[in-house]
Amino acid sequence: MKAGIQTRLLILTTVVLGTFLTLAGVVLDRSFKASVLTNAEEQLRIVIYSLMGAVEDDGASLRFDGALPEPRLSQPESGLYATVTARHGLTAWQSPSALTSSVHFPESADSLAAGDFVFFSFDEQAARFILSYAVIWGDTEDAVLTFTVATDQQPFQAEIQGFRRNLYVGLGAVTVFFVLAQWLAVRVGLRPLRTMAAEVRALEEGQRESLSEDYPKELQGLAENLDRFVAHEHRSRSRYRRAMEDLAHSLKTPLAVIRNALAEGADQQQELLGEQLDRMESTVTHQLSRAAVSGPVVVGRAVNVFTLVDRLVRALQKAYGDRGLELINELPPDLSVRADERDVMEMLGNLLENACKYTHSKIEVRALSTTPVIIEIADDGPGIDPELRQEVLNRGTRADVLQPGQGIGLAMVQDLLAAYEGHLEITESSLGGASMRLVLG
């Protein structure tokens, strides 16, 4: 089972934050440890300088008048010890704290040059930090004394451990706090998605008709597309149902007439039978066309109307080549509509074919508006009387009975436009004939 978005974000946040804080903890721990060691060395350096300033040399031995500069040097097991050695490791002086505690100092006098400080850790008896300093003490370069001071590591290690404990406890608390804060932020941030998922389930179960409208702008487009998809599906089902109901109802009368005519003798009813069959054919064609309407598309690319009209114009010029008709496409080359290409082809094809039937010589296709899209197909034919303009949009109604046809072309166009929330307007064109205006959107 795949992890959800919330779980993935929490895992990613925990890993990234844990890694970052761990690295930060390591850096801080090392920095603090280095700082403690530097502080220990500085403390020992100060003790050496104070001893050098307080020592008295009577030529035979070293001595200190009065109290030692650091009181802990006089106390047993004080944790601070000092010694002064001459060349060849000879001890010239040891602090009382070192004598009473039997502290062992490493032999470093012979390896140290005058003026050198050496700081190191020594663990033979107990863990201690040791600082040695060699200095020329006298008139000759051979008179070199090495001052060595040692201090127990335990106070410094305790300080490091205390800092380390507080550091990792603090970083752990910060990690937990940030993970909880991130969890809360993710839950709040993903609440619209959970709401959408619940509403989609309610749509599937038929408990609601559409999604709510209070989504953030990042999800608003998705919610609108889902609503359009649901509405499109509802319209399609309703259209199929209505088409089938209308088809069944419309065929009842012609079938009854044919049945009666056959009972009376078909030879005398040829004209009546032909009329009823034409009526049935017209009804079936119309209802199937209504059922096949795609309607507004939810996803898909826009249809370039200029290219579509250009193809229709070339086909109609060949079909009506004997009449020498002039078909002019004045649409903008980039004019597009978001619709099913077959629907647009059906609408424009019907209107252009009607115009070719009734025009004298010229047809113009132009865009009166791009928002909303209004396309006008104008001809120089006889036009349509104002009192008939609404009637010709009804199925089976024809303004001219001389031309062949069933009177359902404009009704089909009207049904298609209705599916796209548009309509068809019939007026008088500037060429003197009829003007068919498709208003989409």
pLDDT digits (tens, 9 = 90+) for 89-138: 788 888 888 888 878 887 765 567 778 888 888 776 678 898 999 888 76
Which value, in Å, is the radius of gyration of the alpha carbons in the chain? Answer: 51
* Mean pLDDT, residues 207-215: 78
Residue whose tokens read 């020594």: 122
pLDDT in the model for residue 404: 43
pLDDT in the model for residue 401: 40
User: Residue 132: which of 106, 152, 153 has the closest Cα?
Assistant: 106
Residue whose tokens read 């597009």: 336
Q: Comparing 33 with 255, which gets the higher pLDDT?
A: 33
The CA distance from 206 to 218, in Å, is 26
* Mean pLDDT, residues 45-67: 78
Read off the pLDDT band of 182 (50, 70, 90): confident
* Mean pLDDT, residues 321-325: 83
* Mean pLDDT, residues 53-74: 76
Pairing mode of beta strands 303-304, 326-329: unpaired
Q: Is the dihedral of CA 336, 341, 345, 347 positive or negative?
A: negative
pLDDT in the model for residue 42: 93
pTM: 0.50
pLDDT in the model for residue 61: 66
| Burial of 29 from C-beta contacts in 10 A (0-12 / 13-18 / 19+) | middle
pLDDT in the model for residue 124: 66
* Mean pLDDT, residues 38-51: 91
Length of the chain in terms of residues written: 441
Q: Quick one: angle between helices 5-54 and 154-189, nearest 10?
A: 160
pLDDT in the model for residue 81: 92
The CA distance from 156 to 433, in Å, is 105
Q: Is the dihedral of CA 406, 380, 393, 368 positive or negative?
A: positive
pLDDT of 402 strictly over 50: no
pLDDT of 286 strictly over 90: no
* Mean pLDDT, residues 204-209: 74
pLDDT in the model for residue 400: 46
pLDDT in the model for residue 31: 93
pLDDT in the model for residue 274: 64
pLDDT of 64 strictly over 60: yes
The CA distance from 366 to 49, in Å, is 102
pLDDT in the model for residue 17: 87
The CA distance from 314 to 334, in Å, is 19
pLDDT in the model for residue 188: 85
Domains of the chain: 5-55+69-159 (3.30.450), 217-291 (no CATH), 303-440 (3.30.565.10)
Which two three-digit tokens encode residue 414? 């009207």
Mean pLDDT of the chain, nearest integer: 79
The CA distance from 83 to 92, in Å, is 8
33-47, 96-110, 337-351: which is most confident: 33-47
* Mean pLDDT, residues 151-175: 90
* Mean pLDDT, residues 387-412: 59
Query: pLDDT tens for residues 236-263?
Result: 777 676 667 666 656 665 666 666 666 6
pLDDT of 397 strictly over 60: no
Contact 251, 269 (CB under 8 A): no
